[in-house]
A and B are shown apart, each in its own frame.
Chain A
Amino acid sequence: MAVAAKDLTKDYKYGFNDGDEFVYRAERGLSAEVVADISRRKSEPPWMLEFRLKALEHFRQRPMPSWGADLSGIDFDDIYYYVRPAEEQGRTWDEVPEGIKRTFDRLGIPEAERKFLAGVSAQYESEVVYHSIREDLEKLGVLFCDCDTGLREHPEIFRKYFGTVIPPNDNKFAALNSAVWSGGSFVYVPKGVRVEIPLQAYFRINTESMGQFERTLIIAEEGSFVHYIEGCTAPTYSKDSLHSAVVEIIAMPNSHVRYTTIQNWSNNVYNLVTKRAIAKEHSVVEWIDGNLGSKVTMKYPSIYLMGEGAHGEVLSVAFAGDGQHQDAGAKVIHVAPNTTSTIVSKSVSKGTGRTSYRGHLKVYPKAHNVRSSVRCDALLLDEQARSDTYPYMDVEAEDVQIGHEATVSKVGDEQLFYLQSRGISEVEATAMIVNGFIEPFVKELPMEYALELNRLIALQMEGSVG
């Protein structure tokens, strides 16, 4: 390890302390140099550099997945793997595409927040809010910072759990993330602590949090509770075409972790995310996952029920407009006995959009008394829209109750007629029906997110987003 790091150091020609120099030098594409460069800029310990370089090897060796969405449009050599702060600052509000600005206006997001969401502002005002939340948490011993800070300031905890749920060789895109990760959240909740307000990545501010390869690590110690909310409820302006995050959750015995995210990427983004949780004895893990926007999304939040009596829930909604493919789903692996799980997936395809539910439910032989129910509903709004359902179920235990149901249908003519006969336009009526369709999902969201999601759906219905 030390040898590799030293060799790279020797060949490293540019002073990483020189911001300007760095900005000038940055190149497209992925190489050991770029990876080492990222690691050096962050002053990471050697083990992390080694981790990154190994991951890079895995990434290179792995073939592109042959299943799922069409990824042929990705050119790995035409991507900036590290968004340089200087460039980030150089962007102005004027550079933000008109469509996205209009969306911000219509969503009613405050000016400062808009600029933050667009990645053009230093978010001065938000800083205050962030600090007040952080002080409360600090008193409880909760750690909530970006992942880079986590590595720097809490190395013992960080190293113990980092990459243990999703090893770098898990899949091609997890390997890519492991090689070039930057930003994301690090959450540690001590034993018995209940964090009553949701932790929102919204307030955790630094330029790197907008990175395309963020890494999130959440550890909930015994008997703790935490609700983490991530993502933007407005389109993220992104120059880059690839977003590949890794999220790892470790739920210790009797803990409860809820992870909520609503992602609305601009329509040129490949969103390829690996999310996985390990649930120990009698713990509860919930993924609340909303996918709007992006060109292609492949995301299957998974839960490994490792401890007896653990419970997992995945509640997801996907909306695919023209030219979009949302290949989303869920995986629940019942390893321990007396474990239970619920998956509810709602998807809507509009125009030439395509949604796919891809699930995997596995029950290991020793996992007796397992109960699981999977429900997938798809709504098709237009003739060219497409919906697929691929729910794999492997049951290797006898003492189980497994149920799966899926339906695909269109907006009911009678429902439309009813609303239209009361003077509501067809577009509005359809939006109302769609909102009703995804209601089981929306009701799990905090109020402000629920409102914004409803507005976003309404915008999508008009085809005016992105």
Chain B
Amino acid sequence: MALPGGDPAWLAALRRTALAAYREAPWPSSTRDEDWRRTSQIDKLDPANFAEPSSDQGGRLPPYLQLALDGPLTSGDVSAVLISDERGNLTAPAPASSGATPVAAELAVGLAAEPAVWQSLAGVVAPPGLRKWISLNTVRSRGGACLHVGRGHDPAGYVRLIHGVGNGSIGFPRTLIKLDEGASLTVVEEWVSPEGDPGLLAPVVEVELARGAHLTHLISQRCGDQTVVQSTVRALVGQEASYDVRWTMLGAAWQKAYFEVMMTGQGSETTLDGLCVGRGRQHFDIQTLQDHIAPGARSDLLYRVAVAERSRSVYAGLIRVEEGAQKTNAYVQNRNLLLSPVAKADSNPTLEILANDVRCTHGSTAGRIDDNQLFYCESRGIEREQARRLIVEGFFADVIDCFPVGNLREATRGFVLEGLEALARSGALASPTRHA
């Protein structure tokens, strides 16, 4: 597998290393590997189960990608759009240029234009061998994006990345983001696939923020109901830099996602806010790491989950404070709302603290809709189903309200409301909560 037009030598070498690492690592096991203990359908990830991508990159966008492109996240503020599927980058409409410095480039174009920049980032932030699926992405990625903002730049608007997979194939988008000192950027990523398509989307995102840089990163996963998602987002956050990640997980048959932030610079800040709505037999397994390497950094994580019908959520979040990372302030909160008697939520927020002058806290809750709240609504003439829906909306509201950038916030709210609408249609919100 190579980039269109061939791999540069360093990338070919990286791919070889990754292939060796992929072959060497044993296939994960849900009994042996803590990572996979609560997600047992690992065998469905076998690459042999998926169709080889076609080599034809021409023609019109597949309808599901066109739909995403024209969706609520489109707006006049978009400075660039990059689209990829299993075949690699696809022709996107010409981005409205935001200035002289090209910020966003297709993977192959970006790697060719600034080899020195990307060689020190690709496979470094997310090294092959860390996990089998990072290795495989490194071996096989053909499309994605290179986003580089030069020192002190703050390009107007935001960059849109749409990564999809179709035809029962595997998509390996690779996104590389580098912000030089004092630079800022907002990136909106969408992970999509057609309904009923049994594909696998396995994106890897590598981020490096230099001193004082600021990245806002939204991820909206709205894959089709048969697709499997296996993703990694990994970032190095430098001195006084800040990283805002907001993820919304709504689609896919099941998803295993890693969000890993290394606080390498003193005084760096990270905010991770996520939400997830599960229905049918959906399974979401989200794993987060806030690794405090440098002192004086702050990281906050807020993850809200509503599981309906037979869906299941698994969350594992580690705050690790390395030796010497004094004055760390780290927080994790995971709240789970159980909307059906057969939905499941596992929560495992963990702490590993090797420094003493720290403030590290986590909280986790699981519960159903509060009867008092329901009673309050019903006593005001709101029907039970409507009341339940309002309460679920309210449950997500404070996470969504904190989303930066107005139109992105409202678009995200729209996706969540759509999800709740679908739940209401299937009767999941009306289901009786009382037991015998």
A residues lining the B interface (CB < 8 Å): 67, 337, 349, 365, 368-369, 378, 380-410
* A407 in contact with B366 given A386-B352, A396-B344, A399-B435 (CB within 8 Å): no
A106 CA to B141 CA in the complex, in Å?
Answer: 68
Interface size class of B (residues with CB under 8 A): 35 or more
- CA of A399 to CA of B341, assembled, Å: 7
The 7 A-B pairs of least Cβ separation, nearest first, read: A380-B356, A389-B351, A398-B338, A402-B366, A404-B364, A408-B360, A368-B435
B350 to chain A: which residues have CB within 8 Å? Answer: 388-391
State whether A408 touches B351 (Cβ < 8 A).
yes
Q: What 0/1 readout, one digit per residue, does chain B (349-374) give for beta carbons within 8 Å of chain A?
A: 11111111111111111111000000
Assuming A349-B356, A402-B367, what are 11 further A-B pairs, CB within 8 angstroms? A378-B351, A380-B358, A383-B324, A384-B323, A388-B350, A395-B336, A397-B341, A398-B433, A402-B366, A405-B361, A410-B357
| Chain B residues near A395 (CB-CB < 8 A) | 336, 338, 344-347, 366
Q: How many A-B residue pairs have CB under 8 A?
A: 121
The CA-CA distance from A398 to B345 in the complex, in Å, is 9
B363 engages A388 (CB within 8 Å): no
Given contacts A387-B351, A388-B350, A403 and B342 within 8 Å (CB-CB): no
A390 — which chain B residues lie within 8 A by C-beta?
Answer: 348, 350
Whether the Cβ atoms of B356 and A385 lie closer than 8 Å is yes
State whether A388 and B352 are in contact (beta carbons under 8 Å apart), knowing that A395-B366, A398-B343 are contacts in the complex. Answer: yes
16 pairs of residues in contact across A and B, judged by CB atoms under 8 Å: A67-B34, A337-B435, A368-B435, A383-B355, A384-B323, A386-B353, A387-B351, A388-B350, A389-B349, A389-B362, A393-B364, A398-B342, A402-B365, A406-B361, A408-B351, A410-B358
Which residues does chain B contribute within 8 Å of A396, judged by CB atoms? Answer: 344
Contact A391 B341 (CB under 8 A): no
Could you say which residues of chain A place their CB within 8 Å of the CB of B347? 393, 395, 404
Q: List residues of chain B with CB within 8 A of the CB of A337.
A: 435
Q: Does B215 sit at the interface, judged by CB under 8 A?
A: no
Cβ < 8 Å to A, chain B residues 280-331: 323-324, 326
* Residues on the B chain within 8 Å of A408, using CB: 351, 353, 358-361
B42–chain A nearest beta-carbon distance, Å: 19
Q: Which residues of A lie under 8 Å from residue B341 when comparing CB positions? A: 365, 368, 397-399
The interface centre, meaning the residue of A381, A392, A395, A401 with most chain B CB atoms within 10 A of its CB, is A395
Q: Is the interface of B mostly helix, strand, loop or mixed?
A: strand
- In the complex the two chains form, is B342's CB within 8 Å of A365's CB? yes
Residues of chain B whose beta carbon lies under 8 Å from any beta carbon of chain A: 34, 323-324, 326, 336, 338-368, 433, 435
Most buried by B among A383, A390, A393: A393
Are A399 and B368 closer than 8 Å at their CB atoms? yes
Give CA–CA (A385, B362) in the complex, Å: 19
Q: Are A392 and B356 in contact (CB under 8 A)?
A: no
Residues on the A chain within 8 Å of B356, using CB: 349, 380-385, 410
Cα separation A399 to B370 with both chains bound (whole Å)? 10
Q: Which residues of A contact B344 (CB under 8 A)?
A: 394-396
Give the docked Cα–Cα distance between A223 and B33 (Å). Answer: 44
Is there an interface contact between A392 and B346, defined as CB atoms closer than 8 Å? Answer: yes
Option from A369, A387, A398, A403 in Cβ contact (under 8 Å) with B365: A403
| Nearest CB on A from B364, distance (A) | 4
Measured between beta carbons, the chain B residues less than 8 angstroms from A399 are: 341, 368, 433, 435
Complex alpha-carbon distance, A28 and B363, angstroms: 48
A residues less than 8 Å from B357 (CB atoms):
380, 383, 410
CB <8 Å contact, A380 and B353: yes
Q: A392–B348 contact, CB under 8 A?
A: yes
How many whole Å from B223's CB to the nearest CB in chain A?
A: 26
Contact yes or no, B346 A404, CB < 8 A: no
Cβ–Cβ contact A409 & B435, under 8 A: no
Determine if A400 and B349 form an interchain contact, defined as CB atoms under 8 angstroms apart. no
CA distance A444 to B355 in the complex (A): 31
CB atoms of A400 and B368 under 8 A apart? yes
Q: How far is the CB of A280 from chain B (nearest CB, A)?
A: 21
Task: Provide the bound-state CA to CA distance between A102 and B114, in Å.
Answer: 70
A393 touches B348 (CB 8 A): yes
Which residues of A sit under 8 angstroms from B365, Cβ to Cβ?
401-404
Chain B nearest CB: distance from A422 CB in Å? Answer: 23
A376 (CB) vs chain B CBs: closest residue: B351
Q: Are A407 and B368 in contact (CB under 8 A)?
A: no
Q: Known contacts A368-B341, A380-B358, A398-B338; decide if A403 and B364 are in contact (CB<8 Å).
A: yes
Give the distance in Å from the alpha carbon of A185 to the alpha carbon of B409 in the complex.
63
Q: Which residue of chain B lies nearest to A66 when distances are taken between CB atoms in the complex? A: B32
Please tell me if the beta carbons of A406 and B362 are within 8 angstroms of each other in the complex. yes
